[in-house]
């Protein structure tokens, strides 16, 4: 897991716990200083492929954390 993937995963998990629903791509981009929604999309789908989150296609704010990261990113990867 890259450092950015860990930041996004941790943010989604924290946002869900505080609000009861997942953040939008814009929320994630603003909170983490990511330059565009397309970069958020790329990170989100990398996390989906690795089994950390799931998403209901066609439904807004449907990101769900399946498993948390187990350790901090070291050298960009875990």
SS3 54: strand
pTM across the whole model: 0.80
The one-digit pLDDT tens for each residue of the chain (78 residues) are 899 999 999 999 999 999 989 999 999 999 999 988 899 999 999 999 999 999 887 777 888 888 776 545 444 444
Q: What burial class does residue 27 get, using C-beta atoms within 10 Å of its C-beta: 0-12 exposed, 13-18 middle, 19+ buried? A: middle
pLDDT at residue 77 in the model: 44
pLDDT at residue 70 in the model: 56
φ/ψ bin of 6: left (φ > 0), alpha (ψ from -120 to 50), beta (otherwise) = alpha
CB 69 within 8 A of CB 78: yes
CB 69 within 8 A of CB 10: yes
């Amino acid at each position: 897991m890259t450092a950015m993937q860990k930041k996004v995963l941790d943010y989604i998990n924290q946002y869900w716990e505080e609000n009861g629903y997942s953040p939008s791509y814009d929320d994630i981009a603003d909170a983490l200083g990511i330059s565009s929604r397309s970069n958020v999309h790329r990170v989100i789908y990398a996390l989906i492929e690795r089994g950390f989150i799931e998403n209901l296609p066609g439904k807004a704010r449907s990101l769900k954390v399946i498993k948390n990261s187990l350790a901090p990113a070291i050298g960009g990867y875990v």
